[in-house]
Each structure stands twice: as C-alpha cells, then as structure tokens.
Structure 1
Amino acid sequence: MFSTRGLPSRTALPSFLRLPDVLATNTVRTTTSLPRRSVTDHLLANSRSRFNAHQRTASHFAFRDHFNSNPLLGCKKDSGLIMNRLQRRVVSMWPSGRKSDWQKALSDAEKVVGYPTSFMSLRYLLSDELSNVAMHLRKLVGTKHPILKTARGFVYDGNNSMQTRGLLVLLVSKAAGPGGEWEEEEEEEGEGEDSNGRTMVSGIYRSQRSLAEITEMIHTAYLMHRGVVNLEEVTSADGTVGDMSFGNKMAVLSGDFLLANACTGLAQLRNTKVVEIVSSAIADMMEGSFLLEQDNQGVTFLPDKDWTIKDWTNHSFLCSGSLIAKSCQAAMMLAGHRLDIQKKAYNYGKHMALAHRLHADLLPFSDSSDPNMPFALTSAPMVLHMEHAGRAAVTDKITQVSDKAMKVDYKQLRLEVLKGPAVHAAKELCYDHSQKALAAVTVFQESEAKSALENMTRAVTRF
C-alpha cells in the first residue's frame, strides 16, 4: 500500500478521488523538470493542500495537474496558445457572460445545490475503460486530431464550466421541490425510506441528481463523436492517415461508452416516460448535426436556401436547447409534478439555452474581440445581417478555394455586420429569450435555487 505523509493511502481515498489501477501502475514521462512519478503520486501530491478543504474540488484540481504533466494532454512550450484555443472551444460549446457576473452566478449556484457539478462526468472519465483509451491516445500526440482538444477541455474548464447543463437540472429540481403525489407517499413511507431514488438531499431527489449526471454524459458523448474527422480531407500537417483513423476509432468508442452508460443510468431510473423524453433529446442532437455542413477547416457552409432566423432557432434548439429543456422537464417528472410545472421547466431550459447560444454568437462582434476572429457564417448576427442586406452581402466575402475548402474575409465581414442593425437585433433577441426564461420560473416559490436560476439568466444578457 502506498501512503504519503499527511494523506490517507490510495485505497483509503473516496472512490471519486482514486485513479484506476491501469493508470496508477504506469509512470509518466514529462517534458518538464518534474521527476518521474506514478499518476497516484501526482494526484496525491497535487491535492495535498486542497484535500481537507473540499474533497471533490481537490480531485478536480489534482486531476488537472496530472494532465499538465501527462505527455498525452500536457501543454508544452506552446501552452499559452493551446489554452487560448481551448478557452475559445469551451466558450463556443457553452458561452459565458462577463467573468465577474457569470462566474459569480455559477459559484453561488453550486453552493445552493450543494453538489460541485464539475465532477458529474469526471468519475466516468476515470473509469477503467476510458483509462485504457487514454493510454492508446498517446499515439495521437503531435497530431491535430480533435479528440485531443476535446479531452483537454474536460479538465481545463474551470473558468467556463462545461457542466452547466447538469447544474441547471439540479437548480430547477430544487426550485420546484417535491411534487404533490410524492409528498403524500413520503408521509406514508417515512423520511428514511428510499423508493426509486426518492430520498432528498439538500432539497434534490437522488434520481434527479442521477439525471443531471446522465445529461452531462450525453453531452460529453456528443462532443466525443463530433471529433470524428473526414479522412479524405486529412493533410500531412494534420498527421498521418493511420493516426487520424485511429483517433476516429477512439472518438467513436469513447462516445459510445459514455452514451451506453447514460442509457444504463436512464434505465435504472425506472421511469419509461423519462427514458422516452431524454432519448428524443439525443435524436434531436443527431438531427441538428446533419442540418449544416462544414469544410475541412471547420468553416460552416452556407445552406443552399436562404437561412432565416427561424431556421437558426430550430437548429440551435436541436443541437443544444433540446437536451437542456427535456432534461429539466424529466426532472419534474421524477418528482411527480403536474404537467403545467413540467411545461414551465421545459420552457426555462429551452429559452435559457437559446439565450446562451445568442450570447456565444455575439462574442466575435464585441469590442474586445479579435477583428480576425473566425465565426460561424450561420450565427445569429450573420443570419440577421443576410435578412437585412441580402445573401450576396456575405457570399461576396467568400472565396471558394476548392470543393472542400473556402476562404472567408472575416475582418471585412465583421465590419459590415457591425455597421448594420444585425448585432442590435441579436442582442434584443437574446434579451427576449432571457425574459421568457425568467417568466417560466415565476411558477416556483421564492428560494435560493430560484434566485440562482434568475441570476444565471440575467448574467448571460450582460455584454
């Protein structure tokens, strides 16, 4: 048994803090001056000053420090550049408002639910199966396969919080409280009884916490599957075709593993209606992924037909809003709430997700953004600009390099969008969705959880 002075042995650590044996028995070669130590050594040493303060928070930072020294995911001399890219990637997946407002809202919300949401998918990422995948992914170091960036994003998410979906589910669950049907059953069974996850901890049912984790797993699996690249478009700068093909296999298998765990967790909730509604959210995400195409540089092609703001709303809901909205509704089902309460929770998740998406689309057009920063040609400001100035106003700034690639003059296109009414219209639309989200939570009684939901909703409208 390995033991470090002042810290418990590895086997004495809680399950969420232990690394799997497959990682703990392997040494790590670093490119820095760090000595060669086992992963367990790194985990225990890096969590020394944080372990007693907050175990879950300690495991996150220790896990991140381990990745800093891991040749698979470590940042070498270009760490600053890599982190900037990672931050842009995380922001694009789940945007944030001004750091002071958004981070404060998230921090306060986690205190309300009493559950650090940054650990929802961590225990699954530390499973034996994915640990084996991580060992194989060493072969991809030096390539540009997207799965490496995705993996880094899971540990470098402290400033943006990729786990916001689960946090929203927990907050809605606590704000709504127990449903009428379950309140009567709990009085008959007694507080100590547990039937299908009906024990409440910090005002949230165990089944609802499981649902929040399932929601995060589904999203993580979605990100993994998005990392599959088209091998026909691979260049020598990206890596060898063999390495990229291997990365595709790892992306598919890792995503499938997480999705299988999510489906198993859904079945364990023993609620067929919840299984049905969450499964439909997965179908929505897959449908949304095929509505738009991208070239080999990740630039979204303009659709053949005119892309309206209605099309943008539908696409955004399918890709990001559906999972949040339907997970919030499912949380109400698990608590035995009436249909009208379920609908309110659904509306909150839907409009909150759309408001966030609008905020993300507006980031490249803010005063502090890089003038040459790429942005989606189908983002909300671009769609509104095309509705105002016509499709030709955008296509004139695009040079078709080949059938699989195009060059966009982002700087000039950004200036033209800023001159028109599109940015203002997008901000108004963001504010409108936030107001609809706030209206949806008025059905809940005044509480800390409700206030946290309102604070997060208002934070996303501050540009």
Structure 2
Amino acid sequence: MKNLGSRLASRISKASVRTGKNGRTIGLIQQRQASNSPFNAAVEAAEKMVQPTSKSFNDPFSIVSHEMSNLAKLIASLIGSGHPMLNRVSSYYFEAEGKNVRPLIVLILAKALLKIPVSERNRIPIDSSDVLDQPVYPGTPQQTVVAGNSVNKSISPLRVLHGINPRVILDPLSKPMDRLPELDAANGILPKQRRLAEIVEMIHTASLLHDDVIDLSDARRGRPSGNIAFTNKMAVLAGDFLLGRASVAIARLRNPEVIELLSTTIANLVEGEFMQLKNTVINSDELTVNNDGDVKTIPQPTGKVPVKQHEYSVTTPQEVDHETNVDAAFEYYLHKTYLKTASLMSKLSRAAAVLSGAQEGVIENCYEYGRNLGLCFQIVDDMLDYTSSDASIGKPSQADLKLGLATAPILFAWREEPQLGALIGRKFSEPGDVEIAREAVRKYNGVEKTREMAHKYCSQALDNLRTLPESDARSALEFLTNSILTRTK
C-alpha cells in the first residue's frame, strides 16, 4: 500500500483499492487529468487510510542530517585554544566515527516538540533571536536579552576573560552561530537547542577522555584512546578544558533552568565514577583504597567538615541476608548507571523541552524518556561487554570483570549463586575469579536476563514518547530508541 496515490495516478485509470485487516473496499477511483481534480483529493484520502501518518525511518540521522554533519565543525569552533597541542588533544575524539546519540536526541526531540501548538508552548518565551531570519511565532512575548548580550557575546569584557588583549582565536564562543535560516525554518530547531546538542557532546567527550585514563583503556572508537595517543596528563587536561569550554557555552544559553540542569550533569558524572570505583555495596571499607593492588590507608576526617555515609553502603554481607544484599547491589548499580550515563540523557532531553517553551507535563515526560533511554543504553552496553568482540565495539570487550565491575549480568548470576558474593566483594581480583564469574553468567542466563531488563526501560521510554504529538520526528525517535535496544556495538 506504500505510495498508493502515485501508483494509482500514474499506472491505472481505474482501480479497486482494498486494505485493512478486514479486507474492506475503500472505493473505486476514477483517474482524472487535471491536477486539481477530485481524483487527487480521493487519492490523498485513501493514502491516509492505508498508511501511517508518520514515516518509518531506517536512519534517524536523515531527519537532521545537516546539523549532524556539521556537529564536529561547530564544536571545533567552541573549543578553540591558543595552544595548538591542546587543540589537537581536545578535538581528537571528535575526529573519529562516534555514535553521537546524545546530540542526535536533542536535535530530533527539538523537531518533535515543534509539533506541539505554539499556544501550548508558552511556559517561557520561545527564544529564536540568536540567528537572523528565525521563524517568528505569533503570540509569543519578545525575548529579552540578558545584560544586553545574546548567546554569542560575552557579558564580561574579553580582556577580563582572557587576561590579555583578546584575539579572535582566543574567543571562539563570540563567533556567530551557523546561520542556516532555511533549515531552521524547515526543521524548527532553535539556535539554543542546536547549541545544546553541541554542549552535551562536549561534556560526554570530556567524560570519555577522563574514563579512558581511569580505566587504563587502550582503544576508543576503533583507534588508540586519548591517553595512549597522547599521555595521561594531556588527556585529563584536555577533558578539563572541554568541560571549561562547555561551561562557558552553558552560561551563554542565558537560561537559568537549563544552566542548572547541564551543570548538574557534570557533577553527576563524577559521582557516578566514584560509585564505580567503589563498585559494590558489600565489604564497604571507607578506611582504605585499592590502587592496582596497593592498599592504601586514607586520611580520616577531622570533623571540621561533615562527611555523610552514602545511603547505599552496607557494611558486610554477613549482617544481612543474601536477597537483601542482591537487591541493594541492583539499586546501587542502577543509581550508578543513572549518574554515569542516564543523567546526561535525561537532563539534555529536559533542557530541550524547556527551551521549546513546553509545559510541565511535556518537560517531565521528556526527562523520563531520557532517563529510561539512558538506563537502557548503558544496560545494553554492559551486556555487550559479555557478548561482543573488540573489533565490533571499537574498545576492549569483556573488560568489566577485569576491572572488577559488577554489572547486571553477574548480579543476576549472583542472585542464583550466593557464593559469587565473595568474588564480587574482592572485585574478581584473585586468579580464576574472572573465569568463574563468566561461567556463572552463562549458567544462569545473566545476559538474557540483562536483555529483558533493558527491554523494560526501552518500553518505558517509548511510552514517554507517545505523549508527544505524532510526527516524523517522533517516529525517528522511536526508531532510535528501538535501535539502542538491538544494537551490537
């Protein structure tokens, strides 16, 4: 039934069109020569009856292809430094072929939100003033410019920001955004939403540079990781620089709510990394740290600054029953997963909705969509660590156990085999622990149970999307959501 109208108009003069589960006849359509004839209206009506309103997308990138193809170039204009080596390290990961899931979500979600009537997007004024020739939405208040400046200009003088007489290369953030008026008009992606996509990819990439140093990774996106290609120090400093540049770009969005959301994600990433370093709710020892086998006693608090015990901590596995320990471990794992992965996806989705002017109910569903999608994404990632090869995922596979990380597959196995608690507690550090854990995951179907968990979050994310109006963009997001569940790398 696809392209029914064009086939009827060009190939037949008389057709009996049948469709639907009951095989009912839509009607007998007589072809007409005139382009404005009733025939065309009949064909259009028939097409609507036999086809979904929205297209089915095999490639969600296609709906925002121009923005995505220019993403790396636009980010490069934001991270420019006066030091050529810093530029080189900071841009290293943007050169490679990455998933770019986070900016893709922002851009497609921005289009989906556009389908909400303007009258229902009046929580804040819709800000389309940062790029010339932006579409004017009737009935919305004029946007005020903070401190006399738009997103492209600094509030403080550049001589203050840089400490020297500024040159253009030292302040790439003062350059105008890509104008793209015809695409903005067609796609409905506001300048600040496009900038949001660039910011979230900068934050994510900074976290990758830091993670690869922490995890001693040697590959990322199919080539040497930043710490190997350069040095640990350069990779860490480049990650810090990206966060600094991202923070300036965040501030220049001039939206306090969005600034708060995105700034919080940076703290969330660090919190999640610390939870992963500790990695388990059992044998919680706050007196020592293990640095590659070297147990070190840490300085104890003096009492001058209050130090609160983490709410997920449990002292020893002997003090509570097995089921309670496993439940606590899953809660710990999911919270860590939220902080490390889902917090950025959830808050970027919420920020895109805030910038669109949408009402609270839409904003909350966008947040929940990003949260559920982020949890699904990381849970699938943890599953792939057990099932994929190095070449297929572009980084070392089967690394979680070697790093002492207890992710969902081994936690499901632990529920069935309590003796695994000892291995988890010592982070699989003794000879044979990794092999025992892998066999337990296979024996107790840990991978299959992890896939079921990911499917649950995928379904919840799709439910959140269905609160948005039906559109091509929403269909693209639905396809993207399902593809995350089924991805192999």
Is the 8 Å Cα contact of residues 364 and 373 (structure 1) preserved in structure 2?
A: yes
Does 328-337 or 285-294 show the bigger shift?
Answer: 285-294
Residue 219 of structure 1 aligns with which residue?
204
Residue 385 of structure 1 aligns with which residue?
413
Using the TM superposition, give the Cα deviation of residue 364 of structure 1 relative to its aligned residue in structure 2, in angstroms: 3.7
Question: Structure 2 CA distance, aligned partners of 1:286 and 1:459?
Answer: 28
1:155 to 88, 95, 99: 95
Q: Normalising by the residue count of structure 1, what TM-score does the alignment of the two structures yield?
A: 0.60
Using the TM superposition, give the Cα deviation of residue 194 of structure 1 relative to its aligned residue in structure 2, in angstroms: 11
Aligned Cα root-mean-square deviation (Å): 4.1
Question: Structure 2 CA distance, aligned partners of 1:340 and 1:173?
Answer: 16
Residue 205 of structure 1 aligns with which residue?
190
Residue 81 of structure 2 aligns with which residue?
129
Using the TM superposition, give the Cα deviation of residue 252 of structure 1 relative to its aligned residue in structure 2, in angstroms: 3.2
Residue 102 of structure 2 aligns with which residue?
165
Question: Structure 2 CA distance, aligned partners of 1:368 and 1:249?
Answer: 29
Question: Structure 2 CA distance, aligned partners of 1:396 and 1:115?
Answer: 49
Does 324-333 or 195-204 show the bigger shift?
Answer: 195-204
Using the TM superposition, give the Cα deviation of residue 112 of structure 1 relative to its aligned residue in structure 2, in angstroms: 0.9
2:399 is aligned with 1:374:
yes
Question: Structure 1 CA distance, aligned partners of 2:249 and 2:107?
Answer: 16
Residue 258 of structure 1 aligns with which residue?
242
Amino acid at match of 2:239: G
2:362 to 319, 328, 341: 341
Question: Structure 2 CA distance, aligned partners of 1:397 and 1:223?
Answer: 25
1:174 to 111, 119, 122: 111
Question: Structure 2 CA distance, aligned partners of 1:162 and 1:130?
Answer: 29
Query: Which secondary structure state, in structure 1, belongs to the residue aligned with residue 81 of structure 2?
Result: helix
Question: Structure 2 CA distance, aligned partners of 1:172 and 1:310?
Answer: 29
2:440 to 379, 393, 416: 416
Structure 2 portions without partners, runs of 5+: 1-55, 128-135, 152-180, 217-226, 279-289, 294-312, 317-324, 392-396
Using the TM superposition, give the Cα deviation of residue 254 of structure 1 relative to its aligned residue in structure 2, in angstroms: 1.3
Structure 2 matches for 1:21-420, cutoff 5 A? 108-117=59-68, 119-125=70-76, 128-129=80-81, 132-133=84-85, 153-157=93-97, 161-177=98-114, 180-181=121-122, 182=125, 186-188=137-139, 200=185, 202-228=187-213, 247-293=231-277, 306=325, 308-366=329-387, 373-376=398-401, 377-390=405-418, 392-393=419-420, 395=422, 407=431, 409-420=433-444
Residue 471 of structure 2 aligns with which residue?
447
CA separation of 1:311 and 1:333: change in aligned 2, threshold 3 A: same
User: Larger % of helix: which?
Assistant: 1
Question: Structure 1 CA distance, aligned partners of 2:215 and 2:447?
Answer: 34
Question: Structure 2 CA distance, aligned partners of 1:277 and 1:228?
Answer: 26
Amino acid at match of 1:270: R
Question: Structure 1 CA distance, aligned partners of 2:427 and 2:189?
Answer: 53
Query: Which secondary structure state, in structure 2, belongs to the residue aligned with residue 414 of structure 1?
Result: helix
Residue 47 of structure 1 aligns with which residue?
none
Is the 8 Å Cα contact of residues 121 and 216 (structure 1) preserved in structure 2?
A: no
Is the 8 Å Cα contact of residues 222 and 255 (structure 1) preserved in structure 2?
A: yes
Is the 8 Å Cα contact of residues 351 and 433 (structure 1) preserved in structure 2?
A: yes
Using the TM superposition, give the Cα deviation of residue 123 of structure 1 relative to its aligned residue in structure 2, in angstroms: 4.4
CA separation of 1:369 and 1:409: change in aligned 2, threshold 3 A: farther
Question: Structure 2 CA distance, aligned partners of 1:218 and 1:367?
Answer: 27
Deviations, residues 159-183 of structure 1 (Å, cap 9, x unaligned): xx33111101111111111552257
Using the TM superposition, give the Cα deviation of residue 415 of structure 1 relative to its aligned residue in structure 2, in angstroms: 2.4
Is the 8 Å Cα contact of residues 358 and 380 (structure 1) preserved in structure 2?
A: yes
Using the TM superposition, give the Cα deviation of residue 399 of structure 1 relative to its aligned residue in structure 2, in angstroms: 8.5
Deviations, residues 275-301 of structure 1 (Å, cap 9, x unaligned): 011111111111111112287679xxx
> Percent of aligned positions with the same letter in both sequences?
28
Using the TM superposition, give the Cα deviation of residue 441 of structure 1 relative to its aligned residue in structure 2, in angstroms: 0.6
Using the TM superposition, give the Cα deviation of residue 122 of structure 1 relative to its aligned residue in structure 2, in angstroms: 4.6
Runs of 4+ in structure 1 over 6 Å off: 193-199, 294-298, 367-370, 397-401
Query: Which secondary structure state, in structure 1, belongs to the residue aligned with residue 66 of structure 2?
Result: coil
Amino acid at match of 1:348: Y
Query: Which secondary structure state, in structure 2, belongs to the residue aligned with residue 292 of structure 1?
Result: helix
